[in-house]
Chains A and B, each alone.
Chain A
Amino acid sequence: MTTSHVPAGAHPNDGHAGPRVGLFVTCLVDLFRPTVGFATVALLERAGCRVEVPRHQTCCGQPAYNSGDRKEAAAIARQVIAAFDGYDHVVVPSGSCAGMLRVHYPSLFEDDPDWGPRAQDLAGRTHELTSFLVDVTGVQAVNDQRHDATVTYHDACSGLRELRVKAQPRQLLASVAGLTLLELPDTETCCGFGGTFCVKYPEISDRMVTEKAEMVASTGADTLLAGDLGCLMNLSGKLHRLGKAVSARHVAEVLAGMTDVPPIGAADGGDRR
């Protein structure tokens, strides 16, 4: 595909030729940071996709699934599977939630003759955002984007290990003018978020996020990027508490050029890096 040469902001498939993509927005993006949702839509449209947002979505069900409540997890999963029926692709601005749909829904309905095949079908169509752009649509670069910042990138665990998301965000970031990426040491270590883990075992989570936040600050980067809002809220909360001058943003915001809103956890009119 040649979509990588489409200029930013253009909607080449207004003629409805491109793939029909359902956006699974994730509960954290929906509630806390709609900018990430709009950035995702913009990136998908620039890649030639027709984007729709099914109304009948809330959460992927991980809080129930990881708490051992398989029944509620399955009920929520069925809702997601039904809501995203018929889309060519389902794109998620989170490795964790995408991993839930891709890896865990099929295992949730392993022995279910009705929902098992539907879960498999959804799994095959579901992608984490940066992985979708690079691996599926063949986008090599985001064009005409400039972000003057020194950034570091945190690989969220589910995306990294369940979906092999590592090179894709870096490849896209490399095409953003003015941006320098400084890699984190020990980039494969968890930030300590872990969904409900961070409130069930707050002291252990605190040790983990403290070490990660100090590592982030030690890179000298002024901005922390990641593809998962959970890790970003955890890390930005810790960076602020430690008084470190590092902003946090979802990678989609930078790739889509939507950095006119304050960074995560920062004041309106404050640091807009």
Chain B
Amino acid sequence: MKATSHAFVDNAHAALGDGQLRRALGNIETGFQRKRAAAKLGLPEFEALRDQAKAIKDHTLAHLDLYLERFETQVHAAGGQVHWARTTDEARQSVLDICRQAGARSVLKGKSMVSEEMGLNDFLQDNGVRPIETDLGEYIIQLRREPPSHIIAPALHLNKEQIADSFRDAHPQFPAERPLSEPRQLVDEARSVLRDAFLKAEVGITGANFLVAETGSTIIVTNEGNGDLTQTLSRVHIVVASIEKVVPTLEDATTLLRLLSRSATGQEFSAYTTLSTGPRRPDDPDGPEAFHVVILDNGRSALLGTPAQDTLRCIRCGACMNHCPIFAAVGGHPYGWAVPGPIGAALNPGLIGIEEAHHLPHASTFCGRCESVCPMKIPLPKIMRHWREKAFEKDMMGTVPRLALWAWAWAAKRPRLYRWTTGPMMAVLGRLGRRKGRFRSVPLAGGWTRHRDFPAPQGQTFQQAWAAHQRGARRKGQ
């Protein structure tokens, strides 16, 4: 997909002015934070599981080539095919080729963030294959021609009135005055539209939460059952996944599954956890005739061995964004690429370049809440700082901030000079601010005083006052 991360500031400005968005984001606390906290509380071994899960992924990433090749061997053994893609171009071309071989004019899609990364829908549409999203949230944003704003709740930014409006526009086959004020009515209408699509399905595309090297299985985790229908009713099943989704064994996958839903929605387990292993066998009652796995790198392998490698542990639960105060303020769209929130700020610079994504790792207070809730213990602030260092090395800071930082550091390294200059400065500021105790505006500090008062200093610096205090104490002692 085309990134708009460079326009983060403008996009954030627009998002902050959107009252409807603010109300929608206000639901994150009750919708996600409290549910996760309750689920964690209900599992005494949650912290131990985090350590175990981290170890599994660290081990896998240290032997990624081995497990990916083992996965490929097992997919072949089960009668499926694996297609390796270095870039998103290669990946979507692979998908298109499979669709064309199958003679498909439309494809069903389960939810997949990698397909968003690939810009798959637009590409297929441009090449005469109509993609139909079957996850309710994805279906809604597809109708509205919007990207997802959250990795597990793609339509998080919308309210039900907006969704009803979209449905009235998109579904002229239903009576214009039908009631659509209740979520149930919206779900039923989407279901009835999608039911037809499911029955005509030729190709179904899903993502994967895990690729299991031991068995060649792919696993998806859903709550709507649309993923199952997408892959079992279609003649051809295509799985699109990125390289870091692989885990060694089914046992490992279950360890990660115990953390995934709890961290994401606060569920102990999602409604559906679906394993796919190859195409339908002769005695299977259902399943696709062909099974393809398209495995995308898109810059991930280049992160191995760098400080950003830890981002590849991510299992896409969304806990970091659900607990991020920046995400809560602006939502997912301003991040400008498939993965928003703290994990986007840590991962995207590695995949789309620091030039495009430089705002993302900077737009953080390093409050650290993301890292504290991450089931995979990804040190998100540390990785964001790594990208800040890269941006600094590339001189992307801007002249004025860079000069200010240089001047400050120059003085901070010279304590005596620092005391000589800061003493009189604080004395002046203290005198000017004495009457009110604060300033409504300060030259060069507009970023601060546009929104809040600036507290006046007390006047004397501590170093001055302490030196005077020590002199007094010495005199008393004499």
Encode B433-460 as 1/0 by CB contact (under 8 A) with A.
Answer: 0111110000001011011111111101
List the B side residues contacting A192 at CB < 8 Å. Answer: 325, 365
Select from chain B the residue with minimum beta-carbon distance to A194.
B365
Is the C-beta of A136 less than 8 angstroms from some C-beta in chain B? no
Say yes or no: A240 contacts B452, CB within 8 Å. yes
A67's partner among B397, B450, B452, B461 (CB-CB below 8 A) is B397
Instruction: List residues 387-440 of chain B with CB under 8 A from any CB of chain A.
Output: 387-393, 397, 401, 405-406, 408-409, 411-413, 415-416, 418-419, 422, 426, 434-438
Say yes or no: A157 contacts B12, CB within 8 Å. no
A200's partner among B13, B418, B447 (CB-CB below 8 A) is B447
Nearest Cβ distance between residue B254 and chain A, in whole angstroms? 30
Encode B8-51 as 1/0 by CB contact (under 8 A) with A.
Answer: 01001100100000000000010000000000000000000000
Say yes or no: B405 contacts A32, CB within 8 Å. no
B452's partner among A27, A188, A196, A209 (CB-CB below 8 A) is A209
List the B side residues contacting A206 at CB < 8 Å. Answer: 450-452
Report the Cα distance A261→B326, complex, angstroms. 35
A31's partner among B330, B451, B457 (CB-CB below 8 A) is B457
List the B side residues contacting A238 at CB < 8 Å. Answer: 451-453
Encode B344-388 as 1/0 by CB contact (under 8 A) with A.
Answer: 000000000000000000111111110110000000001001011
Nearest Cβ distance between residue B187 and chain A, in whole angstroms? 31
B415's partner among A57, A193, A204, A261 (CB-CB below 8 A) is A57
Select from chain B the residue with minimum beta-carbon distance to A235.
B452
Is the C-beta of A199 less than 8 angstroms from some C-beta in chain B? yes
Judged by DSSP, the binding face of A is helix
Say yes or no: A237 contacts B453, CB within 8 Å. yes
Q: Number of B residues whose C-beta is below 8 Å from A?
A: 68
B364's partner among A31, A34, A197 (CB-CB below 8 A) is A197
A30's partner among B9, B329, B409, B461 (CB-CB below 8 A) is B461
Is the C-beta of B465 less than 8 angstroms from some C-beta in chain A? yes
With A194-B366, A199-B448 as given contacts, are A30 and B462 in contact (CB-CB < 8 Å)?
A: yes
Is the C-beta of B272 less than 8 angstroms from some C-beta in chain A? no
With A68-B385, A76-B409 as given contacts, are A267 and B465 in contact (CB-CB < 8 Å)?
A: no
Interface centre among A32, A56, A194, A204 (most CB of B within 10 A): A204
* A residues with CB within 8 A of B: 25, 27, 29-38, 53, 55-59, 61, 63-70, 72, 75-76, 79, 107, 157-158, 161-162, 186, 188-190, 192-210, 233-234, 236-238, 240-241, 261-262, 264-268, 270
14 contacts between A and B (CB under 8 A): A30-B463, A34-B461, A37-B466, A58-B415, A190-B365, A190-B367, A194-B365, A194-B367, A199-B448, A201-B9, A202-B451, A204-B326, A237-B453, A268-B437
* B residues with CB within 8 A of A: 9, 12-13, 16, 29, 325-326, 329-330, 362-369, 371-372, 382, 385, 387-393, 397, 401, 405-406, 408-409, 411-413, 415-416, 418-419, 422, 426, 434-438, 445, 447-448, 450-458, 460-466, 469
